[in-house]
Amino acid sequence: MPAGALERAVGLLDRLGQPGAKPTVAELARETDMPTSTVYRLLAELEQHGFVARTAGARVTLGARLIVLGQDAENGLRDRIVGPAAPVMRRLSRELGETVILTARCGLETLALDVVEADRHSVRLSYACYRRGPLDRGASAKVLAAWLPEEDQDRLLAAAADADGLADALAAIRRDGFAYTVGELDEGAAGVAAPILGPHRQLVAGLTVAGPADRIADQVDEIAAAVKAAAHRIERELPTA
Protein backbone atom coordinates (compact mmCIF):
# COMPACT_ATOMS: atom_id res chain seq x y z
CA MET A 1 0.00 0.00 0.00
CA PRO A 2 1.60 3.34 -1.02
CA ALA A 3 2.52 5.78 1.77
CA GLY A 4 -0.35 8.16 1.04
CA ALA A 5 -2.84 5.31 0.91
CA LEU A 6 -1.47 3.91 4.16
CA GLU A 7 -2.01 7.24 5.90
CA ARG A 8 -5.59 7.36 4.64
CA ALA A 9 -6.20 3.77 5.71
CA VAL A 10 -4.94 4.58 9.21
CA GLY A 11 -7.32 7.55 9.23
CA LEU A 12 -10.24 5.21 8.46
CA LEU A 13 -9.22 2.81 11.24
CA ASP A 14 -8.89 5.69 13.66
CA ARG A 15 -12.39 6.90 12.80
CA LEU A 16 -13.78 3.38 13.23
CA GLY A 17 -12.07 3.22 16.62
CA GLN A 18 -14.18 6.07 18.01
CA PRO A 19 -16.67 4.93 20.69
CA GLY A 20 -19.85 3.53 19.16
CA ALA A 21 -18.66 4.07 15.58
CA LYS A 22 -20.53 2.01 12.96
CA PRO A 23 -20.60 4.35 9.95
CA THR A 24 -21.65 3.57 6.41
CA VAL A 25 -19.12 3.97 3.60
CA ALA A 26 -20.76 7.24 2.59
CA GLU A 27 -20.50 8.56 6.15
CA LEU A 28 -16.85 7.53 6.34
CA ALA A 29 -16.12 9.32 3.09
CA ARG A 30 -17.78 12.49 4.29
CA GLU A 31 -16.19 12.46 7.74
CA THR A 32 -12.67 11.77 6.42
CA ASP A 33 -13.02 14.07 3.39
CA MET A 34 -12.13 11.29 0.93
CA PRO A 35 -13.80 10.30 -2.35
CA THR A 36 -16.26 7.46 -1.83
CA SER A 37 -14.41 5.37 -4.42
CA THR A 38 -11.18 5.73 -2.45
CA VAL A 39 -12.89 4.69 0.78
CA TYR A 40 -14.39 1.62 -0.93
CA ARG A 41 -10.98 0.61 -2.27
CA LEU A 42 -9.18 1.06 1.05
CA LEU A 43 -11.90 -0.76 2.98
CA ALA A 44 -11.74 -3.68 0.55
CA GLU A 45 -8.01 -4.06 1.24
CA LEU A 46 -8.45 -3.69 4.99
CA GLU A 47 -11.33 -6.18 4.99
CA GLN A 48 -9.25 -8.70 3.04
CA HIS A 49 -6.72 -8.70 5.89
CA GLY A 50 -9.30 -8.76 8.69
CA PHE A 51 -8.82 -5.18 9.87
CA VAL A 52 -12.43 -4.14 9.14
CA ALA A 53 -15.74 -5.95 8.78
CA ARG A 54 -19.15 -5.15 7.26
CA THR A 55 -22.39 -5.59 9.18
CA ALA A 56 -25.66 -6.83 7.71
CA GLY A 57 -26.85 -3.23 7.70
CA ALA A 58 -24.03 -2.13 5.37
CA ARG A 59 -22.11 -0.49 8.17
CA VAL A 60 -18.38 -0.78 8.80
CA THR A 61 -16.69 -1.85 12.05
CA LEU A 62 -13.20 -2.79 13.16
CA GLY A 63 -12.24 -6.36 12.33
CA ALA A 64 -11.31 -9.32 14.52
CA ARG A 65 -7.63 -9.27 13.55
CA LEU A 66 -7.19 -6.09 15.59
CA ILE A 67 -8.13 -8.05 18.72
CA VAL A 68 -5.10 -10.29 18.25
CA LEU A 69 -2.82 -7.36 17.48
CA GLY A 70 -4.22 -5.43 20.43
CA GLN A 71 -3.54 -8.30 22.82
CA ASP A 72 0.01 -8.60 21.51
CA ALA A 73 0.51 -4.84 21.88
CA GLU A 74 -0.90 -4.87 25.42
CA ASN A 75 1.38 -7.75 26.43
CA GLY A 76 4.38 -5.94 24.97
CA LEU A 77 3.53 -2.71 26.78
CA ARG A 78 3.08 -4.58 30.03
CA ASP A 79 6.54 -6.14 29.71
CA ARG A 80 8.29 -2.96 28.55
CA ILE A 81 6.75 -0.23 30.70
CA VAL A 82 3.51 -0.99 32.60
CA GLY A 83 5.02 -3.80 34.71
CA PRO A 84 8.19 -1.89 35.68
CA ALA A 85 6.19 1.28 36.39
CA ALA A 86 3.36 -0.23 38.46
CA PRO A 87 5.15 -0.56 41.87
CA VAL A 88 6.58 2.95 41.56
CA MET A 89 3.16 4.34 40.66
CA ARG A 90 1.51 2.71 43.68
CA ARG A 91 4.22 4.09 45.98
CA LEU A 92 3.88 7.58 44.50
CA SER A 93 0.09 7.52 44.85
CA ARG A 94 0.36 6.48 48.51
CA GLU A 95 2.98 9.15 49.15
CA LEU A 96 1.00 12.03 47.65
CA GLY A 97 -2.55 10.78 48.05
CA GLU A 98 -3.45 11.55 44.43
CA THR A 99 -4.17 9.72 41.19
CA VAL A 100 -1.11 8.62 39.21
CA ILE A 101 -1.33 8.06 35.45
CA LEU A 102 1.07 6.40 33.03
CA THR A 103 0.64 7.65 29.47
CA ALA A 104 2.21 7.02 26.08
CA ARG A 105 2.05 8.77 22.77
CA CYS A 106 -0.27 7.38 20.10
CA GLY A 107 0.22 9.43 16.93
CA LEU A 108 -0.89 12.95 17.83
CA GLU A 109 -2.84 11.66 20.82
CA THR A 110 -2.09 10.33 24.27
CA LEU A 111 -3.14 6.94 25.62
CA ALA A 112 -3.44 6.10 29.33
CA LEU A 113 -1.63 2.80 29.88
CA ASP A 114 -2.22 2.45 33.62
CA VAL A 115 -3.95 4.38 36.40
CA VAL A 116 -3.57 4.17 40.19
CA GLU A 117 -6.17 5.99 42.29
CA ALA A 118 -5.43 6.83 45.92
CA ASP A 119 -8.10 6.44 48.59
CA ARG A 120 -6.82 9.13 50.98
CA HIS A 121 -9.38 11.74 49.87
CA SER A 122 -13.10 11.37 49.25
CA VAL A 123 -12.74 13.78 46.31
CA ARG A 124 -10.16 12.58 43.79
CA LEU A 125 -9.62 12.41 40.06
CA SER A 126 -10.88 9.31 38.26
CA TYR A 127 -9.21 8.56 34.95
CA ALA A 128 -10.03 5.62 32.69
CA CYS A 129 -7.31 3.28 31.54
CA TYR A 130 -6.87 3.49 27.73
CA ARG A 131 -8.48 6.92 27.66
CA ARG A 132 -7.28 8.88 24.64
CA GLY A 133 -6.64 12.60 24.55
CA PRO A 134 -5.11 15.31 22.38
CA LEU A 135 -1.34 15.75 22.50
CA ASP A 136 -1.53 19.52 23.02
CA ARG A 137 -3.69 19.77 26.16
CA GLY A 138 -3.05 18.65 29.71
CA ALA A 139 0.13 17.86 31.63
CA SER A 140 0.11 14.20 30.57
CA ALA A 141 0.08 15.25 26.92
CA LYS A 142 2.39 18.23 27.01
CA VAL A 143 5.17 16.38 28.77
CA LEU A 144 5.11 13.82 25.94
CA ALA A 145 4.97 16.54 23.30
CA ALA A 146 7.95 18.35 24.82
CA TRP A 147 10.18 15.33 24.22
CA LEU A 148 8.94 14.46 20.74
CA PRO A 149 11.47 14.22 17.92
CA GLU A 150 11.69 17.51 16.04
CA GLU A 151 9.80 16.27 12.97
CA ASP A 152 6.89 14.97 15.07
CA GLN A 153 6.77 18.12 17.17
CA ASP A 154 6.60 20.17 13.96
CA ARG A 155 3.58 18.09 12.88
CA LEU A 156 1.90 18.76 16.22
CA LEU A 157 2.57 22.49 16.04
CA ALA A 158 1.22 22.59 12.48
CA ALA A 159 -2.04 21.04 13.71
CA ALA A 160 -2.37 23.08 16.91
CA ALA A 161 -4.70 26.06 17.14
CA ASP A 162 -2.18 28.11 19.15
CA ALA A 163 1.16 26.98 17.75
CA ASP A 164 3.22 29.87 19.13
CA GLY A 165 1.87 29.49 22.64
CA LEU A 166 2.31 25.72 22.50
CA ALA A 167 5.89 25.94 21.21
CA ASP A 168 6.84 28.26 24.08
CA ALA A 169 5.09 26.02 26.62
CA LEU A 170 6.86 22.89 25.35
CA ALA A 171 10.25 24.62 25.45
CA ALA A 172 9.61 25.64 29.08
CA ILE A 173 8.55 22.08 30.00
CA ARG A 174 11.69 20.62 28.48
CA ARG A 175 13.82 23.20 30.32
CA ASP A 176 12.13 22.59 33.68
CA GLY A 177 11.78 18.83 33.33
CA PHE A 178 8.06 18.75 34.17
CA ALA A 179 4.66 20.01 33.02
CA TYR A 180 1.97 21.62 35.15
CA THR A 181 -1.49 22.44 33.78
CA VAL A 182 -4.87 23.35 35.24
CA GLY A 183 -8.25 22.58 33.70
CA GLU A 184 -7.02 21.88 30.17
CA LEU A 185 -8.71 18.48 29.91
CA ASP A 186 -11.04 18.21 32.90
CA GLU A 187 -12.58 21.24 34.57
CA GLY A 188 -11.35 21.69 38.12
CA ALA A 189 -8.49 19.22 37.71
CA ALA A 190 -4.75 19.83 37.55
CA GLY A 191 -1.78 17.64 36.71
CA VAL A 192 1.99 17.57 37.15
CA ALA A 193 3.89 15.29 34.78
CA ALA A 194 7.46 14.21 34.04
CA PRO A 195 8.91 12.21 31.15
CA ILE A 196 10.14 8.63 31.36
CA LEU A 197 13.13 8.32 29.05
CA GLY A 198 14.96 5.30 27.64
CA PRO A 199 18.69 4.56 27.82
CA HIS A 200 19.38 6.80 24.84
CA ARG A 201 17.20 9.58 26.33
CA GLN A 202 14.38 8.80 23.91
CA LEU A 203 10.80 9.29 25.09
CA VAL A 204 9.18 6.13 26.47
CA ALA A 205 6.15 7.39 28.42
CA GLY A 206 4.93 10.08 30.77
CA LEU A 207 4.14 9.93 34.49
CA THR A 208 1.47 12.24 35.90
CA VAL A 209 0.05 13.07 39.32
CA ALA A 210 -3.44 14.53 38.96
CA GLY A 211 -6.16 15.72 41.29
CA PRO A 212 -8.41 18.63 42.23
CA ALA A 213 -6.79 21.88 41.13
CA ASP A 214 -6.95 23.58 44.54
CA ARG A 215 -5.14 20.69 46.21
CA ILE A 216 -2.48 20.33 43.49
CA ALA A 217 -1.83 24.09 43.32
CA ASP A 218 -0.76 24.17 46.98
CA GLN A 219 2.12 21.76 46.41
CA VAL A 220 3.26 21.98 42.78
CA ASP A 221 6.98 22.09 43.59
CA GLU A 222 6.74 19.17 45.99
CA ILE A 223 4.74 17.09 43.51
CA ALA A 224 7.06 17.97 40.63
CA ALA A 225 10.09 16.78 42.61
CA ALA A 226 8.32 13.56 43.58
CA VAL A 227 7.11 12.84 40.03
CA LYS A 228 10.56 13.43 38.53
CA ALA A 229 12.16 11.17 41.12
CA ALA A 230 9.57 8.46 40.45
CA ALA A 231 10.11 8.75 36.69
CA HIS A 232 13.85 8.26 37.21
CA ARG A 233 13.17 5.17 39.34
CA ILE A 234 11.04 3.71 36.56
CA GLU A 235 13.78 4.45 34.02
CA ARG A 236 16.19 2.33 36.07
CA GLU A 237 13.71 -0.57 36.00
CA LEU A 238 13.09 -0.54 32.25
CA PRO A 239 14.35 -3.58 30.31
CA THR A 240 17.49 -2.81 28.33
CA ALA A 241 16.80 -5.17 25.42
Question: Using one digit for the tens of pLDDT, what is the confidence trace for 28-56?
Answer: 899 888 999 999 999 999 999 999 898 87
pLDDT value of position 129: 84
From 63, 78, 93, the end of a domain falls on: 63
Inter-axis angle of helices 36-48 and 25-32, to 10 degrees? Answer: 110
Mean pLDDT computed over 4-11: 85
Domain containing 35 equals 3-63
117 neighbors 222 (Cβ within 8 angstroms)? no
Same domain, 75 and 15: no
pLDDT value of position 226: 98
From 63, 79, 113, the end of a domain falls on: 63
- Res. 209 pLDDT band, cuts 50 70 90: very high
The pTM is what? 0.82
| Torsion on CA atoms 13, 9, 82, 136, rounded to nearest 10 | -90
- Res. 241 pLDDT band, cuts 50 70 90: low
Indicate which CATH number applies to the domain containing 13: 1.10.10.10
| Least-confidence region, from 119-123, 125-129, 153-157 | 119-123
3-state secondary structure of 154: helix
Indicate which CATH number applies to the domain containing 149: 3.30.450.40
More confident residue, 5 or 134: 134
- For the chain, how many structural domains are there in total? 2
Same domain, 47 and 80: no
3-state SS, one letter per residue, for 209-225:
EEEEHHHHHCCHHHHHH
Distances (CA, A) of 86 to 113, 134, 178, 201, 224: 10, 24, 20, 21, 19
Same domain, 124 and 161: yes
| Least-confidence region, from 1-10, 142-151, 220-229, 231-240 | 1-10
Mean per-residue pLDDT over the chain, rounded: 90
